[in-house]
Structure formats: structure tokens, C-alpha cells
Structure 1
Amino acid sequence: MPLPVPSSNDFPVGFSWGSASSATQSQGATPADNWWGWEQAGRAPRSGDGNGFDKLYASDFALLADWGFSDYRLSLDWARIEPQPGRHDQEAVERYRQILLAGHDAGLTMWVCLLHTALPAWFADEGGFLSPKASAIWARHVDFIAETFGDLADGWMPVNNPTAYAQKAYLTGTFPPGHTSQEEFLTVLQAIHRADFEAALRLRQGGKPTSTNEALLQPHPADDSTDTAGVTALIDAVVWDSWLNLVRTPRYEEAFDQYGFSYYFTPAVSSSGDLLPYPADHPVGPQGYAPWAPGLGEVLTRLNMELPGKRFLVAEIGYGGEDDRARAAYLQAALGQVHGAMVNGMDITGVHLWTGVDNYEWLDGHTVSFGLFDRNRTPRPSARIIQSIIRR
């Protein structure tokens, strides 16, 4: 049974209600990025124009603001802005400035992400974050974004889901460059987390807040064997220690003003390292995992234990699938977990939903719906439930 709609006293005045999108998913891939080549090679469905955001961004922002949302996070596509090394496309720059201005005109607080999965093809060809030049190239890009968009960004979320990116691109090989090397995975995992923290240090000099967006989950061993416990501990270390170790480093302990995260599922870990749906008897969605709201509570509890006294943002939660009743029930249950954590004293600044409008979902193309609104901008019943929570 879904939880009852939270009452008006559940979330405080000033609580941030946001939506999020990425450039590739809302605008479509560009020939200047490495996802375009992935599509051309038949490794992913064609993204086309994403969800039409390039033409509809102003009305999308107005729609979300009218429904009660206060915040919006988008990525500025590095490949569109710098299609060739050192050459910036002024038309793309002005386009993104117009988009950010339109968000402000709608009354939204605009969070800017610098990297959400797709890389410029030229950077990917140099080895991406495996390249010995990567840190210098990245620093130059961060400084350009800060100088060019710093007046319009209300907050920064430098890298989206660093661990998930490293895993898909270099361990399972489902994202470009499609490698399956444990050594490369661990190298990129460290490099992209460091890139995230370094970017935050540079960006916060402009006086705007910074937030992580880590892909977090709490793994459960699938059985009671010693081997399974060991593998589960390794996965736990990848998910948690890969970035917490940096948080506890003196150089980076003040890099982020708050710690944001994405949560979608809780896995059971087999002795071979396979991630299985958890709980085993819970309905599995079209992407192969079980959307389970108590797992969000587990992540919140772990965060509060690992980083006591810090501020947090639920930077991304959502439900993928066509069953909107299940979406509504899941989101209400997830918000119940957030409320419970706040009652217990956790400082949570907001919840940002994935996503406002259906978009391109990478390897699933346009076949999995996450939006409160469909691509025609028609609200689903779940949108009205979220609206009632926000407005009350």
C-alpha cells in the first residue's frame, strides 16, 4: 500500500523541490561527442532530439515552476561548447546562457553540471580520464565554464554519478569506450572522483554552492557464504570509500557545501559479483532492478553515520516504467523515507526528481518513462500527487 500523501508539516519552508536532466538525454547526442559514435555503431538507440528540450526549454521551465518546483539541474554539454580542443563554439555558449536565463525568468534556481556521461570526441580519443593530460584539460574546461556561466549558475554539481560512469565505461563496457578492464576501471574511478572534487574547489571560489551527485546504494549479500560477504565488501568499498576517502582528505574536506546523491535500487550481491534484484520477491522494473524505497532509507542512514553534521541533498530519485500507479506509490514511499530521516535530525536541503519530462534513457532509448510528464508535456497522475505534496 502506498504511504499517505505527507502533510503540510512534513517538509519545511525553503525545502528544495527540483527536477533534473542531462544534455544528451534532453537535447540528443551531437556528432562532437563520443555517445554519437556509440549510436552510429549500433551500441545504443538513436537519441534524436532527446525530448525536444532545445525548442521547449522556456515552456518546460514555466511548466515545472507552475507545478511548484523551485530548482532545476541541467548539464552543459562539453562537446557542444568545445567541439575541438581549445575552440569554443560561441553559438552553443550563447544558447546555454539563454537556457539558464529562461530558467531564472521562470523563477527556478539553476544548478549546473559540467559532465553527465558524454565526452567530447577529441577528449575521448586522447584517452579521456585515462590520459596523463586529463587533469590539465579538465581544469581548463572547469575554469572556462566558471568564467562564462558563473553569473548564471546558482549552484554547481560538477560530475554526475562518477562511480556509475567508471563502471559502465570501463568495467561492464556498456558505455563508450566499452572497455572491460578492472585496472582501467579503478584508475578512472579515482581520476573522475578527483576531477569532481578539484572542480568543486575551483567553482566554489565564485561564491556559489557546490554539491556532489554520487550514485549510492547499500549492497546486501545474496547468501551467507564467506565468499559472498567478501565480494559484497569490495562492492561496498567501490560505492562508498571511493569518494568518502577524498571527503576525509584535508584538501577536499570543504570542497562541497552539501553531499548530494542519486538512488534507484538496492542490489543483492552474488558470490560471483553479479548484482541481483533486491528484495527477491519485489516487482522488477523494465531496467532489471526492483525500485525499493526502504533502500533509500538505508542510504540516508549510512550517509548520516559516515558524515555526521553535514548537509545532504537527494539529488536524484525516480521510477522508470509505464505503471504510473506504481510510480506514484514509490515516490510517496521514498519521500516518506526522506521525511523520516529529517525527523531523526538529518539536514536534508531538498529532493530533486528524475525527471520532469520523459527523455532519452541511454541504452533503453525512449522505451522507459521516468517523467511526471510525457513527451507531449501531458501530466501523469503521479505529477498531481507530487504537486499536492509540494504545494501543501
Structure 2
Amino acid sequence: MRWPENFMWGTAASATQAEGAAPASDWWDWERQGRAPRSGDGNGFATAYADDFARYAGLGLRHHRMSVDWARLEPEPGRHDRSAVARYRDILGAAADAGLTPWLCLHHFTLPRWFAEPGGFTRDDHWREHWPRHVEFVAETFGDLVAGWQPVNEPNYYPWITYGGGPFPPARPDAELFGRASEGIHLATAEAARILRGTGKPVASIYGLSVPVALDDSQKTAERVKNHLADHWDAWIGLVRDGVLRVRDRPPIDAPHLAGVFDLIGFSYYRITGIRDGESVPYPPEAPLSDMGYAVSADGLRLVLEKLHAELNGTPLLVAEYGVGTDDDDLRAHYLRDGLALVNEAIVNGVDVRGFFHWTGVDNYEWLRGYDVSFGIIGRDRVIRPSAHVLKKEALG
């Protein structure tokens, strides 16, 4: 396949999943309450990062998104840990030394305990007091070492996994808190992008996207499809395209200063969302299942690219995460080939896709599953899997 000049080939990871939970974070408490497996030292990234970066470079994957853990940087409000700052600077410097282009994420699901316990992003006054300080500190402290920013991971899913019936802290199903969390995280994400653009470095989003497919004509299914589009598409598109945040069942919020804050619209893709009788089901039914229970099918990636191109015509796109949790590396390789072919086809058809980041490089901690799900093209033993060479072939031509 032929790819545009300067197409970005990369990998992505998160702080907690690669380093283990920070003692000052809400996830640390979650593990100790028995709500999640212990993460320990993650996949060993804290001591292996230089060698990991060299492996990525050898595969031609010269872009890498990592996150900083807010709870490590700021374990108490307003107090920054100098040793954590120095360590993250060392890591970013090592990435550059290996010939990698680092992108930095500021929030990947976990929060400092002191921020989470009073309400986190559900309280407008709370997040507006503390979140901009975190963003500005990271910009000032690490801006000289990064090539770009991807400020918040999957803000459209965050309200669901925390206040919409999901299993992430505080796991408190509540319609009012869900709505407030949706407003807060979407506005905080866009505000971070606005601040980070001041560094002169490109800013990309990481929305978690799938296109729902109705498998029957029931009212329950129609309502579920409508709500999926409202929560996972319409809210953020209205904000970053039009400057109006429209969270379902809540009054619109005008924020014209946040229109156009992203240089690239990045997204993660893992599955098609099939809806039958109002419930999410694996789709297509003939597809193999991943260890996470998803149908392994790249076809939904085409649907996402087509919808983004239609909604945001002219905005550059980034596949910020694409991967599958499986011990079957042949399945991973097949899934990669299919996904890359679809991205290449979209580019040929005029969709402006700037890069492809694989989730993940090295097998890591998978939240509620611990270490029993493999997403990496490299094992925790640092053995490079054959699927990695699917990416290497395209990245290095």
C-alpha cells in the first residue's frame, strides 16, 4: 500500500497501564478495595522505557503517545512532585533520543484522590479551579519535549464508565451526575486543547468511536441508537465544530471560543456497536470474539471514517488507537491488515487521515482484567510478535 508522505505511524499507552497505579490516585484505592486487580509496576515501563522506545523505532513506529499521571505530578492540590517531574522529563527525553516523536495525554481515566473525592468533573466550580492549573503546568513543564498533545482519553466514554453504570470509580449510576460529568469532561477536554494550542504544538482529540448498527426495527433499538449517537457523537461534534455543547436531556451550553480547538480529530476504534432489542450485541455475528467479548471486525472503522468525513469535512483525522485484546496473534495480524487496508482506501477516496497509532506497543495492565488480556504487538517479556511486522512493512515501506 502507498501512504502519504509524513504519515504518522505510532503506538499508544497510558500511565496507569504501563507504570501501575499512583498511590495518590482513585485507581490505587479502587484496587485496594478489591474493585480491580492490583496493577503493581505495570508492564515494567518505568525501567524498560528506553529499550521499549528502541524497539518501536526499529519497527518504524516513530510516534508514541504516553500519558502523565496527574496523581503522580500533583499528589496534593497545588503541590507538584519534583521527582515525578524529573522522571517524566527523562522518559520524554529518552523517546527523542530513540528517534521517536512523543505525544502527551494529560488524563487517561484515573484522577488524583483529592480531585475525585469532592466530585471530579461533575462539579463545574471544582474542575475549573484545578484542571486548568494541571494543563498549564504540563504545558510549561513538558512542552519543550513533546511534539504534540492528545489531552484527554475518550471523554465521551468517561461519564459512562463512572456514572452511567460502568465499573470505574466511583461506579455510581446517577442520571444527574452522568449529565454533569458529560458536560464537565467535554468542556474540560476542549479547554485543555485551547490552552495547549498556545504552545504552538498540534493538538489531537481521542474520542472513543463506533457507529451503531440497528439489527431490528424495535422502539427499544431505535432509542438506543439515538442515545448512542447523542452521547458519543453529537455532544462533542457540536462543541468542537459549532461551539455548542449539547448533552442529552440537558440545556445546550454556548462555548464559541471552543469551536475549532483541535488541529486533528483523533479517535479510538475497537468494534462495531450492534443493537438488538435495545441491547448491545457482538456484530457481525460471524466474526470471532476478542478476549474482551467484542466481535473482531475492522468494517466499523470504515463507518467511523465515513461519518467523521461527512460531519467534519476538511478536518484532518487521526486513528489514535486501533487494536484487539487477544492471545491469537494471527487474529491480531489479520485485524491489522484489514484495518490498514480500510484506512488506505479512505485516503485514496479523499479522507484526510494523518496517522495510525496501534494500541498498544507492549502488553499492559487492562483495568478490570489485570494482565490476562494481550493488546500488544510486543509481550511483557519484550518478545516482538509476528503481528508487529504487519505494521513494520507498511511503516518502513
TM-score by length of 1: 0.96
Gaps of 5+ in 1: 1-6
**Matched residue of 2:387: which SS?**
helix
Q: How does 1:1-392 map to 2 (within 5 A)?
A: 7=1, 10-131=2-123, 132-247=125-240, 248-249=242-243, 250-272=256-278, 274-392=279-397
Structure 1 residue 59 displacement after superposition? 0.8
Q: Distance in 2 between matches of 1:281 and 1:183?
A: 39
Partner letter of residue 71 of structure 1? H
Q: Report the CA distance shift for 1:271/1:190 in structure 2 as closer, same or farther (over 3 A).
A: farther
Partners in 2 of 1:286 and 1:182 — Cα distance? 30
1:252-293 deviations in Å (ceiling 9; x for gaps): 222111100000011112344x31111122222111111210
1:153 Cα deviation from its structure 2 partner: 1.6
RMSD: 1.0
> Does the 8 Å CA contact 2:22/2:69 hold for their aligned counterparts?
no
Provide, for residues 318-373 of structure 1, a one-character-per-residue CA deviation record: whole Å limited to 9, x for no partner: 01101111100001000111011101101111000001100001111100001001
> Structure 2 stretches of 5 or more lacking a match?
244-255
Bigger CA drift: 227-236 or 85-94? Answer: 227-236
Question: Counterpart of 2:345 in structure 1: which amino acid?
Answer: G
The Cα shift of 1:387 comes to 1.1
Of 180-189 and 168-177, the range deviating more from structure 2: 180-189
Amino acid at match of 1:328: A
Shift of 1:222: 2.9
User: How far 1:182 sits from its partner (Å)?
Assistant: 2.2
Counterpart Cα distance in 2 of 1:340 and 1:173: 35
> Which amino acid in the other structure matches residue 147 of structure 1?
E
How far apart are 1:241 and its partner, in Å? 0.7
Secondary structure of the 1:185 match is helix
Counterparts of 1:36 and 1:49, CA distance in 2: 12
Identity score, percent: 49
| SS of alignment partner, residue 275 of structure 1 | strand
1:103 and 1:141 map into 2 onto residues whose CA distance is 23
Match of 1:251, SS state, is: helix
CA deviation string 1:174-231 (max 9, x = no partner): 0001111122112111210110100011111110110000000001123112332122
2:25 aligned partner, one-letter code: D
> What code does the residue aligned with 2:151 have?
P
Report the equivalent of 1:4. none
Task: Determine the C-alpha separation between the residues in 1 that align with 2:53 and 2:28.
Answer: 27
Which moved further from structure 2: 24-33 or 224-233?
Answer: 224-233
What is the CA deviation profile of residues 126-178 of structure 1, one whole-angstrom value per residue up to 9, with x for unaligned ones? 11111231112101111111111111121011100011111111112300011
* 1:315 alignment partner, SS class: strand
The number of aligned residues is 383
- Residue 321 of structure 2 aligns to a residue whose secondary structure is strand
Alpha-carbon distance, 1:63 to partner: 1.1
Stretches of 4+ aligned residues off by more than 4 angstroms? none
Q: Distance in 2 between matches of 1:235 and 1:135?
A: 27
Task: Work out the CA distance in 2 between the residues paired with 1:359 and 1:234.
Answer: 32
Q: Say which SS state the counterpart of residue 389 (structure 2) adopts.
A: helix
Counterpart AA for 2:258: Y
Deviation for aligned residue 1:243: 0.3
Q: Distance in 2 between matches of 1:231 and 1:317?
A: 25
SS in 1 for 2:318: strand
Partners of 1:297 and 1:255 in 2: CA distance: 25
Aligned to 1:3: none
Greater mean alpha carbon deviation, residues 207-216 or residues 142-151: 142-151
1:42 and 1:380 map into 2 onto residues whose CA distance is 33
TM-score normalised by the chain length of structure 2 = 0.95
**d(CA) in 2 for partners of 1:130, 1:229:** 29
Counterpart amino acid of 1:46? R
- Aligned partners of 2:376, 2:45: CA distance in 1, in Å? 13
Output the CA distance in 2 between the equivalents of 1:20 and 1:282: 25
Matches of 2:82 and 2:367 in 1, distance apart? 27
Residue identity matched to 1:355: T
